[in-house]
Structure 1
Amino acid sequence: MFRMSNSEAQVRRARKPSETVHEMQEEQSCLKAELVRENASLYEQLNNHNNSNNNHPSSQTEIPATTWASPQSAKPAPSLTQLQQQSVAQTTGHDGQISEISSHAGVPGSVPPVDILPDVPVGSHGFQVAPATLEIGQIGRDKIHHCFALFFTHYEIFLPGLLDPNMPPEEYYERSPFLFWSIVATGARRYADDPTLFQRVVSQVQQIALGTLFSCSNPIPTIQAVLILCLWPIPVNSMCQDTSHTLGAVAMQLAVQNGLHILGHQQDYERQNINTSNSEVSWRFRLWIHCVLTVQNSNLVDGFPCWTVAEIGHTESDPMLEHILSPSLFYHYKLYKVQTDAIQAITRSVELLKPNCGPPLNSLIDVFDAQVRALAPANNREIDVLVQKCTRLGLRAFHFFATPDAARTAGLVQLYALCCSVLDMLHDLDAANDFALYSTQWLHRMLCLAAHIIIRITFSEVRTHVDLEHGERAFFKAIKFTRKRSVENNDLDSRAALILTQLWANNSSFRKKDGALIGDRMRLRSRLFSSIMSDSNWHWRATFGHRKPNPYKADDDEGGEEAFAADEQHQGSSDWTSSSMLVPPSQQPQGSATSTFLGGPMLNFDAFNDFQDWDWTPLRDGMDLSTISHFAEADAD
């Protein structure tokens, strides 16, 4: 490839005084991309040469030059560390501050400057972050390309129009190492040829994430990377270690700071003149919609309130929105709007924290559920139908907060049938194309919500009005789906499957001392529809944590030893206990090869020592949970 000398480049620039800073950065970016390719090629040649010498010491065969894309100059290329140091020197001013870089660097079709992770603190108050240690050549060209192929085949469908599948991996690296490694890490989740790759790449993402987020020099690719990590977070074994919500908050703030929330007004958030095309304006708006949907849904499904963000000044019927967004993304946005409007109306009209919310709650649920059902998917895509059902599920779940009456019972019956439908559809999608392996965290959390609702209604007085056999089959499908989705042993997915299994296998968790079923009773009520899961986790903890007290239970709700004794007697004589509850673990629905169930007896388990903080904030040492009493004024019935 022909390359101009430095003197020629200076003459060329002298003849073009109107050349913009952005064009100069593009030229610099292309040169760096060439150096990255050459470095990867030389690294691979060196490895091949060493392997050849080890196998054939006397061999003097010359190794041909190979690159990722096209043959490049034979000029020796610096290492990645040297490239990083050169880039820092070029983008850092004399005062130690990072120079401004165009914020539209992530738009498909353009070649923005590279996002740099400095090896040393920037400025007098900069963050000192450990440099990335994993280089592209250490993984290999083929593995990286395979991970990219896996990502764009199975994962990118959840982020339509946000990433360019035709862009080569090295160009993604040049735009943002954070985005590059996030794509590789997500694709490596199911990369079977190298089971060690995922762990190595995940450590790389963790190393560069902090420095990239706080550099603020290349925000658009950073937002893209964060959205990927919010949909498929790094596996952890405790909710307290999950950083997806923190990353999502950073992405939202970066988006607002760069004017993504105001359509067509990027110039208002820039310090230099910019010329943006219509395609770039549309792409930035799509990125904002993806950011809102991903972050808000992640918050809601874990019981966190919605963000209050200034809207964009367009209604759902505005033709401009339909023109800018794809039909599927536009449909998801309309569902999101109805859901947030419903939650805001419910929280303003009903006191959810009180035990008895009154009749208005059931009416509000019916009104907004009808609005969701009226939004029929344009193309009847399976993923759109699934999102619609999950949206309805989140709304109908608020029936648990209502005062017990005929309207609430009717609502819970509809909710039960809807949960079965959601779990059946997820099972069918997984049977058709291994949907469980690539599903987002939001979909999995909605699956867990549906499973918890089924078990709560099954162990309540409402059970006489529902199809228990259908619910049982759907519940087992949820366990199988969760086991299959698990990426690592003892991650949150495998723990969720174990919790569901143990709650189903022992029905004393939702029974009072007198034997009355209380599965539909809500004590923990501050986490919106996610309160159902959080409340169930406390029931599970009280049952399998050596009879530790549940701070959300009233005195006559605590079954204790009497409930366990009654349960053992009740399981043998009850006319409603499902026979599958007594099936040995070996005959239960089988999971995937990644199943992480513990061996031995199913219930030989210490919830406090093994799962101290699965879904709750760690408590200070010495705190006496028995002294905590919530809703003491609630009626015991």
Structure 2
Amino acid sequence: MLTSEFSLPAQTPLSGEMPRPDGRYRNHYPTLDFSSPTHPKTLDHLTLSSQQIDSLYFKKYHPPVPLLDPTIPPNNYYDRSPLLFWTVVYISSRQYAEEPGLLGMLTSPLKQLLWGTISNPPHTWYLVQSMLLFCMWPFPTSSLWNDTTPMLVNLAQTIAMQLGLHQPEAIQDFSRTKQKLTAREISEVVKTWSICYIASQSMTTIYGLALPSSDWMIDRICDQDSTYMVPENMKHQLLIYRFSARRGHWKEKSQASLRLPQHTAVLTSNLREADNDVLLNGTGLQLYVFYLLDSGGSTSRKIALLRAFDIAKTLIANLRQLDTTSNFMKHCPASYFRVTSLVALFILKLQDSNYAELLDVESGKRAFNAALFLLRQASLEDSDLPGRTSNILAQLWSRQGHSKQSGEEPRLRLRTRLSASLLHDQLWSWRESFGGQVSASHTPPADNIGPQSMTTLPDGGLIVPTPEEGHVDRLTFEEVFDTEMLSLLPFDLEADASLNPLTSFTEGVPSPSKVL
């Protein structure tokens, strides 16, 4: 039985060895062969030369997701898992200028290898690692409905738990043989489970699905000195996404108060690396989306949304600079595409409202266009999600430019997808304007629907009437978060009075932080 006294093992020297070929566990490993040249490899009818493999392996894609060891020779990875080997090659081929068609040639046979491996247990942690890498850099797809990422991340978590990767100190309980992990094996396991958590939580930006907010192992990685077990960059991402997970589970607040993690200082000072700074501010921006779910028009709400507008512009400026120096968007995980989409949607929503007269519209336009540029940088083909998203956003902006601002408070009709409600609300707006779909009322929150309010159709379908505005279960920001969790953010919800366009009529009004 797990106890709160468990801690990660003390730091010990690591030998550079890897687990045995089947990906399970033993205390002695085969010696790695660093002297042998890379061998050509064949997948289906496609053969890559040793020079191609060496030029693709662990170049641009390892730093954002430091799951694997880039010092391990390609031959050794292939011997242990052909799927993992080809996964690394495939991801590296996404922006391979010397052979642009390589990605397309690899896609079909690698999908067959992936799903064939999944359907043939017993599974190994190499399969889990491959699936997670595909979650971070998904196969190109033209629609959210065709995206297999949610399925893959759920399968990866299930298989990881079957292998006991979520409880490395008790991994023997999930094995048929007696095993005890060494320090290197525990590090491998902890990193794999950490990426499971990161991959699943990063999808909430675009899918808006509620995921588990608490994880025993993740809490211990975040709250202990575990940087020798996982890279510092990975630990920072865990801190960000753990906060994001707690944010998404605000409905549980009445049952268990959210507590301030011990490492607030880490969040507020050490997360200032450029890429993590983008993720952290993106998480904060998702928090502001909850103001859009509140249909009221209070002064504190207006101040907060105007502050969010400035944060969105700053985030895009930082990401643009990062991309300029390193072509970051061409190689980054999908989580950055999702954050960029959120920023563009936020700017669009506020400028197409009665807030427009309070905004610096020109700087907002520049930030919006920069976001479209970044999305296109992340696109592999015109019909993939980043490419289509940039086109949809451009059409929505064009529609706004050919009509007057709505003159209404910025609010959302669709309110059932947490912070992703902004994305899906705008997608419905696009469908109604450009997709030929007739405007229809969105489904109200489930707790407002009762059997007496539904009408059954002859074919068995249901008509759900839209409730009156006064009967909608409105969300207020103070019901969603407590002030301790808000203090994790690297910015203050209280707008700077010197920059606040509402200063002239907000004197004497409590600041947002006081309201919260």
Same fold (TM over 0.5): yes
In structure 2, the CA distance between the partners of 1:108 and 1:493, relative to structure 1 (3 Å rule), is: farther
Return the offset for 1:334.
Answer: 1.8
Quote the residue 1:193 is aligned against.
Answer: 98
1:143-182 correspondence to structure 2 within 5 Å? 143-148=52-57, 152-160=58-66, 162-182=67-87
Match of 2:307 among 407, 414, 430: 414
Equivalent residue pairs, number: 429
- Is 1:265 aligned with 2:143? no
Match of 2:155 among 234, 239, 250: 250
Q: Which amino acid aligns with 2:111?
A: Q
Q: Deviations over 1:291-325 (max 9, x none)?
A: 11112212443211113665138556743434423
On the 8 A contact 1:419/1:454 being kept in 2, the answer is yes
Quote the residue 1:633 is aligned against.
Answer: 468
In structure 2, the CA distance between the partners of 1:539 and 1:108, relative to structure 1 (3 Å rule), is: farther
Question: What is the distance in 2 between the residues matched to 1:442 and 1:109?
Answer: 36
Quote the residue 2:512 is aligned against.
Answer: none
Quote the residue 2:410 is aligned against.
Answer: 520
On the 8 A contact 1:551/1:629 being kept in 2, the answer is no
In structure 2, the CA distance between the partners of 1:265 and 1:347, relative to structure 1 (3 Å rule), is: closer
Q: Deviations over 1:196-246 (max 9, x none)?
A: 211111112111111211323342111111111111111011211111111
Match of 1:535 among 402, 410, 425: 425
Say which SS state the counterpart of residue 268 (structure 2) adopts.
coil
Quote the residue 2:454 is aligned against.
Answer: none
In structure 2, the CA distance between the partners of 1:395 and 1:183, relative to structure 1 (3 Å rule), is: same
- Is 1:382 aligned with 2:280? no
Question: What is the distance in 2 between the residues matched to 1:264 and 1:435?
Answer: 37
Q: Which amino acid aligns with 1:376?
A: T
In structure 2, the CA distance between the partners of 1:231 and 1:316, relative to structure 1 (3 Å rule), is: closer
1:391-540 correspondence to structure 2 within 5 Å? 391-402=283-294, 403-507=296-400, 516-518=406-408, 520-540=410-430
Identity of counterpart residues, as a percentage?
A: 25
Q: Which amino acid aligns with 2:24?
A: S
- Is 1:134 aligned with 2:44? yes
1:178-257 correspondence to structure 2 within 5 Å? 178-257=83-162
Return the offset for 1:632.
Answer: 4.0
CA RMSD of aligned residues (A): 3.6
In structure 2, the CA distance between the partners of 1:493 and 1:319, relative to structure 1 (3 Å rule), is: closer
Return the offset for 1:427.
Answer: 0.9
In structure 2, the CA distance between the partners of 1:464 and 1:333, relative to structure 1 (3 Å rule), is: same
Return the offset for 1:175.
Answer: 1.2
Q: Deviations over 1:517-547 (max 9, x none)?
A: 3471211111110110110011111112347
Q: Deviations over 1:368-422 (max 9, x none)?
A: 99x9797224273212222211121121221111232111111111111111111
Please tell me whether Structure 1 or Structure 2 has the larger radius of gyration of its CA atoms.
1
Quote the residue 2:442 is aligned against.
Answer: 552
Question: What is the distance in 2 between the residues matched to 1:320 and 1:478?
Answer: 37
TM-score by length of 2: 0.75
Q: Which amino acid aligns with 1:412?
A: L
Say which SS state the counterpart of residue 381 (structure 2) adopts.
coil
On the 8 A contact 1:510/1:517 being kept in 2, the answer is no
Say which SS state the counterpart of residue 387 (structure 2) adopts.
helix
Quote the residue 1:588 is aligned against.
Answer: none
The structure with higher relative contact order (CA 8 Å, sep 6+) is 2
In structure 2, the CA distance between the partners of 1:476 and 1:409, relative to structure 1 (3 Å rule), is: same
Question: What is the distance in 1 between the residues matched to 2:185 and 2:279?
Answer: 28
Q: Deviations over 1:69-113 (max 9, x none)?
A: xxxxxxxxxxxxxxxxxxxxxxxxxxxxxxxx55249x99877xx
On the 8 A contact 1:213/1:222 being kept in 2, the answer is yes
Q: Which amino acid aligns with 1:206?
A: K
Question: What is the distance in 2 between the residues matched to 1:485 and 1:304?
Answer: 24
Question: What is the distance in 2 between the residues matched to 1:368 and 1:465?
Answer: 35
Match of 2:24 among 103, 116, 119: 103
Which blocks of at least 5 consecutive residues in structure 2 are unaligned? Answer: 1-18, 33-41, 445-458, 472-516
On the 8 A contact 1:327/1:378 being kept in 2, the answer is no
In structure 2, the CA distance between the partners of 1:372 and 1:486, relative to structure 1 (3 Å rule), is: farther
Question: What is the distance in 1 between the residues matched to 2:76 and 2:438?
Answer: 55
TM-score by length of 1: 0.61
